Amino acid sequence: MKRIPFLPRWQKQPFLIIALAFLAGASAVQLFQEAITSDDAQAQAKIMGLEFTDAEIDSLLPSLEGFRNDYSSLRTNEITNSLSPALYFQPIPPDYENHTEQAPLSFSDQGAVELPVDREALAYYSVHQLAALIRTKKITSVELTRFFLERLKKYDPILHCVISYTEDLAMEQAARADREIAAGKYRGILHGIPYGAKDLLAARNYKTTWGAMPYKEQSFDYDATVIRKLEEAGAVLTAKLTLGALARGDVWYGEKTRNPWDPSTGSSGSSAGSASSVSAGLLPFAIGTETMGSIVSPSTTCGVTGLRPTFGRVSRYGAMALSWSMDKIGPICRSAEDCAAVFAAILGPDGKDLSVSDYPFNYQSEYVSNRRLRLGYDSSAFARQYPFKAQDSTALESLRSLGYELVPIELPEMPDIRFILSVEAAAAFDELTRSGRDDLMVRQTQNAWPNAFRQARFIPAVEYIQANRLRSQLIVDMAKVFDEVDLYVHPSWASRSLRITNFTGHPCIVVPNGFQENGRPTSISFTGKLFDEGTLIGVAQAFQNATGFDDEHPVLK
């Protein structure tokens, strides 16, 4: 028998009765035999924080019946997760201008890169170092791909970071890369480099499980745009990596993904496998996604570098939708400059994700790192007592020593608009809730997705629109912050910035900046102007060149 949540206490609520009936297997005819009463309407008004007179309620009732019929009609249509609303979020404030023209990308000179005597050291070579070895034919892509596949298979039983190996495809792509390079057709830095993708990105002929039990056998007959663009760049897809179920946390249907620095703990989420695998040297880079911290948080926990681009930079076609106005795709690597190389390959419009804008990406390592930039710092956040404070204070001094001018800033107050994410996520997984298959999810706590989706059904559409209007004001307020500085630095977790900028769409890069007493990594974050990832990455790379924390890695047993 299918469950009927909340009964009998709520069985006459007007906006629950449809969901309850569907969960119970009732037909639409059975559903509408019970009329909506004045008590039903008053109860719903109370939940919304409104008061109506008896006369006003009486006049509402016929329309409420009509709305309920409309809802039922909507639900006769197949609305897949991939179908986006006819409303597109843009993070751009009024009078925004971006006159930057595209310039050639310029990366650091790696010098002469040699194969290490101990081949295991390849695990922690950067993308640029591995690219130099492939380009100079000191190693083949097939050899490198086999090397990383072996490491994945050796350490995944400890870290639980892989959902599916794409070994056949990987060896095919690696062999093709070797043939092309031998023929003088070198595609660029990513040519022949193995990587992994968070398993919410569709890859033809392989499962795309979204990390969740209800979808563990799901597959698609097409590639996500990011997967396609990386193939065009010559990269080698080696594994589909874990994510917290439906992009929340680090618990998926098989296990909890582990932190390579301390496998007794989780890797954080939701880009859990992407961060864990790169940290452990199981892959040179991976693709993650962020809606509300899902690149920043696991990158911090695992001691790697993660780039969350400006909203609308990278197409999400073929990616699981959680929030159409907040989802972003970005690289997780061992260095900021590696992030630049991957980002350059995946950005730009594809004609499928209509939220994507076409802006240039200019990264010139020497020019950016030597400029006399004004760096803001979130003064109120740094002034508090919080974990990582000692490491962050040292990081600020390192930035000053590099010649940057540090300017105190105050971020705007964050309005109470967090439920925007809840509404969009509940809509994205409406069918999961109504079908009752949310019972299959591993996590069933009060704060887990199944309950969050149900809670969101009580959020009125009017309040959702009002929250987005306040979001527009927040975008304007953040533009004023950047009138004074080129970018700003802030604690990764102890600042309002992470929450604010996931709603305003600003880019962020998180980099390791030390270690806690327990040996686990710490991080600091840089947030930049809209579409100015080049400056953001350049400063982060300058910091890494001066500190070297990105060269540290865990010792696996």
> Looking at the predicted structure, is the pLDDT value of residue 533 above 90?
yes
Confidence grade of residue 29 (pLDDT, cut at 50, 70, 90): very low
219 DSSP 8-state letter = B
**Mean pLDDT (whole number) for 206-233:** 98
pLDDT score of 99: 76
Confidence grade of residue 369 (pLDDT, cut at 50, 70, 90): low
**Mean pLDDT (whole number) for 502-530:** 98
CA dihedral 464, 268, 83, 30 (to 10 degrees): -70
The torsion angles phi and psi of 375, rounded to 5 degrees, stand at -105, 120
**Could you tell me whether strands 508-515 and 194-198 are parallel, antiparallel, or unpaired per DSSP bridges?**
unpaired
> Looking at the predicted structure, is the pLDDT value of residue 368 above 70?
no
> Looking at the predicted structure, is the pLDDT value of residue 439 above 70?
yes
Percent of the chain topping pLDDT 70: 93
Cβ(291)–Cβ(422) below 8 Å: no
Domain 119-415+468-551 falls in which CATH fold?
Amidase signature (AS) enzymes (3.90.1300)
* CA-based nearest residue to 69, from 111, 12, 18: 18
The domains of the chain are located at 1-77, 119-415+468-551
Q: What confidence tens digit (pLDDT) does each residue in 146-205 have?
A: 999 999 999 999 999 999 999 999 999 999 999 999 999 999 999 999 999 999 999 999
The whole-model pTM stands at 0.93
Residue 387: half-sphere exposure toward Cβ, Cα within 13 Å: 12
pLDDT score of 68: 94
pLDDT score of 24: 40
> Looking at the predicted structure, is the pLDDT value of residue 240 above 60?
yes
Both structure tokens of 45: 């008004």
* CA-based nearest residue to 246, from 280, 310, 294, 206: 294
Distances (CA, A) of 545 to 150, 277, 539, 550: 30, 23, 10, 9
Q: What's the one-letter identity of residue 67?
A: F
Distances (CA, A) of 183 to 146, 179, 193, 417: 22, 6, 17, 55
pLDDT score of 98: 86
* CA-based nearest residue to 190, from 345, 365, 364, 361: 345
Confidence grade of residue 370 (pLDDT, cut at 50, 70, 90): low
Chain centroid to CA 490:
19
Cα gap 266→272, rounded to integer Å: 8
Kindly state the helix (H) or strand (E) to which residue 422 belongs, with its residue range: helix 419-428
> Looking at the predicted structure, is the pLDDT value of residue 1 above 90?
no
